[in-house]
């Protein structure tokens, strides 16, 4: 059975008008010392692309899929066939999933686990045959009603135990399928009101949970990178892993900073009132940048709309941070993004990934050129030049004191400061984006 009636999507260059072609993503082309494929490490999100029905809070699902009429287990098997065909045709090497995305939940945990065994056997067979890889998997500990008061931060110890059992199974799956990372997104780990919440106990328990997860991963020999995915709100009004800085402080408090890195989602950054670049920079500066959920929010909507990335300005700034980080490996760019409800045809799944891949490919081309030119690097070097010598160097080397600084200040006349010329930077980025060519 064929699910996508198209040829393999190939690179046709920026002037192509074929919607089923890449305009900027040329997998084997080298940008600097790596191919585009090696830089970008694209991944398909199972849930949005193969499980979701495109329903929203106001309307039923609109997605038209070949597997719609099958029973649950056959549906799960059809989706496995479909995602491997999809990865072959789009040239995407990686995929990601939650436990509930790939197999139906049974009446008991044991039944659910048995379903997972059947489907992960099938996935493993396909992986072995095709060489496709699992970027990360995770456990969905937020959809089912038992997680209404949280999962690892639930007010009920039985829910904590259930959550542990699900993560235990997911770690076993990660080991079985050789996942390169393992994600924790705290779906219901937050609160609605502090007046009925023991925040300290909940956060202490969350740390206990992470420590046990790490101990189990070590026990079974799973060596993939653990990732935390911050998000400030939605579904709870306050999510504990609000943003990178908050989650980093949490990890440091509990001595977990060497166990985790961050999986940074663009739309979560904007919900937190940050730019995507800010979150990437904060993580990079602290050696905590692990992976990326590549999507974008809608500028007029204040929730996690998970649109496919198409804004080249944003992808350029993101790729700037990623290149400065020395890449993302073992992380990647996972399209945690879905078609709009109005794009309900099966082939739309291909088109959405094309726009996202091209947007990041173009961002990579531009960012690489900017870094080669040292345009921003020279601006920054010049801006902080006063810290390279004299008293500035003493500040940076921790060899001065308030007394010496006061003595210096008392001798100063007017301090000569330079304009930042912010507009030159903005205009220069536009120039870079608009003039990049595919040989750039
Ligand atoms: C939800 C999150 C979720 C995580 C994985 O907003 O982005 O999809 O990526 O649980
Ligand atoms: Ni995400
Ligand atoms: Ni999200």
What's the pLDDT band for 439 if we cut at 50, 70, 90?
low
Q: What percent of the chain has pLDDT over 70?
A: 99
Residues near ion ligand 3 (Cβ under 5 Å): 265, 304
Q: Is 38 annotated as a binding residue?
A: no
Q: Whose CA is nearest to atom 3 of ligand 1?
A: 185
Instruction: Indicate which residue of 39, 99, 101, 353 is catalytic.
Output: 101
Q: Is 414 annotated as a binding residue?
A: no
With residue 127 as reference, give the H or E element that holds it. Answer: helix 109-130
Mean pLDDT computed over every residue of the chain: 97
State the Cα angle at 303 between 301 and 306, rounded to 5°. Answer: 95
Q: State yes or no: is 101 an active-site residue.
A: yes
Cα 265 to ligand 2 centroid, rounded to whole Å: 6
Cα 292 to ligand 3 centroid, rounded to whole Å: 11
Kindly give the number of the ligand 1 atom that is closest to the alpha carbon of 304. 6
Mean pLDDT to the nearest integer, 66-92: 98
Q: Whose CA is nearest to atom 10 of ligand 1?
A: 185
417 exposure class (CB count in 10 Å sphere: 0-12, 13-18, 19+): exposed
- Residue 164 Cβ contacting ligand 1 at under 6 Å: no
Question: What is the assigned CATH class of domain 10-373?
Answer: alpha beta
Cα 395 to ligand 1 centroid, rounded to whole Å: 42
Cα 185 to ligand 1 centroid, rounded to whole Å: 6
With residue 291 as reference, give the H or E element that holds it. Answer: strand 289-293
Q: Number of helices and strands (H, E) in the chain?
A: 16, 14
What does 398-425 look like in DSSP terms, one character per residue?
A: T---HHHHHHHHHH--S-------HHHH
- Residue 231 Cβ contacting ligand 1 at under 6 Å: yes
Kindly give the number of the ligand 1 atom that is closest to the alpha carbon of 293. 9
Q: Is 229 annotated as a binding residue?
A: yes
Q: DSSP E strands: which ranges in 220-288?
A: 225-229, 238-239, 260-265
Nearest C-alpha neighbor of 190 from the set 166, 226, 154: 154
Question: Which distant-in-sequence residues (6+ apart) come within 8 Å of 99 by Cβ?
Answer: 112, 116, 137, 138, 139, 140, 166, 169, 170, 173
Kindly give the number of the ligand 1 atom that is closest to the alpha carbon of 48. 8
Cα 184 to ligand 2 centroid, rounded to whole Å: 10
Q: Whose CA is nearest to atom 4 of ligand 1?
A: 185
Q: What percent of the chain has pLDDT over 90?
A: 98
Integer Cα distance of 52 and 83 in angstroms:
13
Mean pLDDT to the nearest integer, 60-65: 98
Integer Cα distance of 378 and 387 in angstroms:
15
Query: pLDDT (tens digit, 9 = 90+) per residue, 380-429?
Result: 999 999 999 999 999 999 999 999 999 999 999 999 999 999 999 999 99
Query: pLDDT (tens digit, 9 = 90+) per residue, 281-312?
Result: 999 999 999 999 999 999 999 899 999 999 99
Contact 356, 308 (CB under 8 A): yes
Query: pLDDT (tens digit, 9 = 90+) per residue, 219-257?
Result: 999 999 999 999 999 999 999 999 999 999 999 999 999
State the Cα angle at 70 between 68 and 73, rounded to 5°. Answer: 115
* Residue ranges matching CATH 3.20.20.150 in the chain: 10-373
Kindly give the number of the ligand 1 atom that is closest to the alpha carbon of 185. 10
């Amino acid at each position: 059975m064929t699910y996508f009636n198209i040829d393999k999507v190939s690179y046709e260059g920026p002037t192509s008008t074929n919607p089923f072609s890449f305009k900027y993503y040329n997998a084997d082309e080298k940008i600097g010392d790596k191919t585009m494929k090696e830089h970008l490490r694209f991944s398909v999100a199972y849930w949005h692309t193969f499980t979701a029905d495109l329903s929203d809070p106001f309307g039923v699902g609109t997605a038209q899929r070949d597997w719609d009429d099958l029973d649950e287990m056959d549906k799960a098997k059809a989706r496995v066939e479909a995602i491997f065909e999809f990865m072959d045709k789009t040239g995407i090497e990686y995929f990601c999933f939650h436990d509930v995305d790939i197999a139906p939940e049974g009446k008991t945990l044991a039944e659910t686990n048995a379903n997972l065994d059947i489907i992960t056997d099938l996935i493993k067979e396909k992986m072995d045959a095709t060489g496709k890889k699992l970027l990360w998997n995770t456990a969905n500990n937020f959809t089912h009603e038992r997680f209404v008061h949280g999962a690892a931060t639930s007010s009920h110890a039985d829910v904590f135990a259930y959550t542990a059992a699900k993560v235990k199974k997911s770690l076993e799956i990660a080991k079985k399928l050789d996942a390169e990372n393992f994600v924790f997104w705290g779906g219901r780990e937050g609160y609605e009101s502090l007046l009925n919440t023991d925040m300290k106990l909940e956060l202490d328990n969350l740390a206990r949970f992470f420590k046990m997860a790490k101990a189990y991963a070590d026990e079974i020999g799973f060596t993939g990178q653990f990732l935390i995915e911050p998000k400030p709100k939605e579904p709870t009004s306050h999510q504990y892993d609000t943003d990178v800085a908050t989650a980093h402080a949490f990890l440091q408090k509990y001595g977990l900073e060497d166990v985790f890195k961050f999986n940074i989602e663009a739309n979560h950054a904007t919900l937190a009132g940050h730019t995507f670049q800010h979150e990437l920079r904060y993580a990079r500066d602290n050696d905590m940048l692990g992976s990326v959920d590549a999507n974008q929010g809608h500028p007029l909507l204040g929730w996690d709309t998970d649109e496919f990335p198409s804004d080249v300005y944003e992808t350029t700034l993101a790729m700037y941070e990623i290149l400065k980080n020395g890449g993302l490996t073992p992380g990647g760019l996972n399209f945690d993004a879905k078609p709009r409800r109005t794009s309900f045809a099966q082939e739309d799944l291909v088109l959405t990934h094309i726009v996202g891949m091209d947007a990041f490919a173009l961002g990579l081309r531009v960012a690489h050129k900017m870094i080669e030119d040292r345009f921003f690097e020279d601006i920054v070097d010049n801006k902080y030049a006063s810290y390279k010598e004299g008293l500035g160097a003493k500040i940076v080397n921790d060899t001065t004191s308030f007394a010496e600084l006061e003595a210096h200040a008392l001798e100063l006349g007017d301090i000569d400061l330079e304009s930042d010329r912010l507009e030159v930077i903005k205009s220069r980025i536009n120039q870079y984006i608009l003039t990049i060519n595919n040989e750039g």
